[in-house]
Amino acid sequence: MTTGSVSPKLASLAWPLVVGNLLQTFYNLADMFWVGRVGTAAVAAVSLMFPTSWLFVSLAMGLTAGSVALVSQHIGAGDDRAADNVVAQTTLLTVIVGIALSSVGYAFRHPLLTLVGAEGAVYVQALQYIEVLFFSIPFTFLFFVFRAVLRGAGDTRTAMWLMVLSAGLNVVLDPILILGFGPIDGMGTQGAAVATLIARVFAAIVGVYVLLRGNWGIQLRPEDLTPDWPVLKRLISIGYPATIDGAARSFAAVAMAALVARFGPVPTAAYGVGVRLMSVSWTISGAVGQATATGVGQNLGAKSPDRAAEVTWKATVGTLGILFAAGGLMVAFPGIAMRVFTNDPAVVEEGISFLRIIGPFLSFFGGLMVIQGGFRGAGDTRVAMALSFLSRWVLRIPVALLLAYGWTLQFGPIALSGMTWGVGGLWWAWSISALGSFVVGVLWFSLGHWRQGVLEEEQRQATAD
């Protein structure tokens, strides 16, 4: 990513990430498709648990944010051995954290379900789903290490092929375990979680094997698996804002799901399907943002900040164009999209309303993710975190309370009187927050404070010492 025309190299780096992320989304869509054959309560249960499961995925992404920045900048600077050490330290850190989170989540699963508003049959099926999913967390974290370090080195295709195999395994197992086949009894929502667990264990084992082989530009060296405290400190320093960012995003998703749940199972089911349809666009913009992070990191390591900026702006414009077209399809054909996952007329009707409000603003969700990728590649994860807080906790949640529940918000001498738009107010809160946070993100990146990369900062600190 440090030489030649930016756009073709960015596309070459991004398309395997897009495919990999789409396959990750295919996991979720396949779960929802087959769970939808069980009943509305099962759909609502998985919908409520989706933000919670995404919380742990976001934490894994946060933990590996430091490795992307460090590996990419070491590769750009030509120091491959230092990059290998970062791989080992990232693996050590994420495995320890993954096991700890899995244990804590399982211990507090009952209060968690009560917190998000699960009741009756939805509570029972959500519990069956989340209990199994907690066991998959350490393996999920290992796979994210694999993806992150290869991405930092500029190899996105190897992870894509592993995702193809893992997603294919999940898709085959879903109908068998959810609905039953031959001597295997259907397990409902629990079957969806078991299929996910098996697929993630497979991906983690193969990913570790690939890293140990070291034939793909980066290597996991067993002798490096002892704590290297300066590197661990740097990983935590860069990664903790991204981890907080991931947690804040996921807790905001849990909070929104809880706000929707207060309107009943029909809006909850419609919301779950709608968010999964939106997640297709997030996989595209998330992949482009990941490619942007690699491009920015490698160019800052090679001391080419202007080229790093060019990578970010071209990635942002391309993403806006693609997602504007996708949003147009959502607005034009919302009923067709909803009926793929549910035949309940009430759920379809509410889902149509959701997609028509969200669709015109879909591109701004993606544009912000690309801008955040630019900041993460520079190692400036605190700004990316601040933009996530702005989008969700400063704009989305307060606006949701204002428009859907009629709350009055007080800002010093200024009071905003609430509306009572009902569940539609929640859908508008998504759209308003997307536009506002994107504008702020563009202006913030334009200031250029990110141009000093992590390695340059380390060198300046070493000189000062």
Give pLDDT tens digits for 149-192.
998 888 889 989 998 899 899 889 999 999 998 888 889 889 99
For residue 178, the model assigns a pLDDT of 92
For residue 410, the model assigns a pLDDT of 59
For residue 463, the model assigns a pLDDT of 60
8 A C-beta contact, residue 87 and residue 230: no
Q: What angle do CA 96, 247, 282 make, to 5 degrees?
A: 110
Q: Could you give the CA distance from residue 262 to residue 328 in angstroms, rounded to a whole number?
A: 30
For residue 90, the model assigns a pLDDT of 92
Q: Cβ neighbours of residue 288 under 8 Å, at least 6 residues apart?
A: 10, 14, 17, 18, 315, 318, 319, 366, 369, 370, 373
Q: Where are the domains of the chain?
A: 6-464
pLDDT single digits (tens) 296-318: 988 988 889 999 999 999 999 99
- For the chain, which ranges sit under pLDDT 70? 25, 407-420, 453-465
**Residue 264: closest CA among 401, 122, 113, 406:** 122
Neighbours of 447 (CB within 10 A): 9
| pTM for the whole structure | 0.77
For residue 79, the model assigns a pLDDT of 85
> Measuring CA to CA, how many Å separate 154 from each of 74, 161, 295?
12, 15, 8
8 A C-beta contact, residue 192 and residue 129: yes
Beta strands per DSSP E along 269-418: 409-411, 414-416
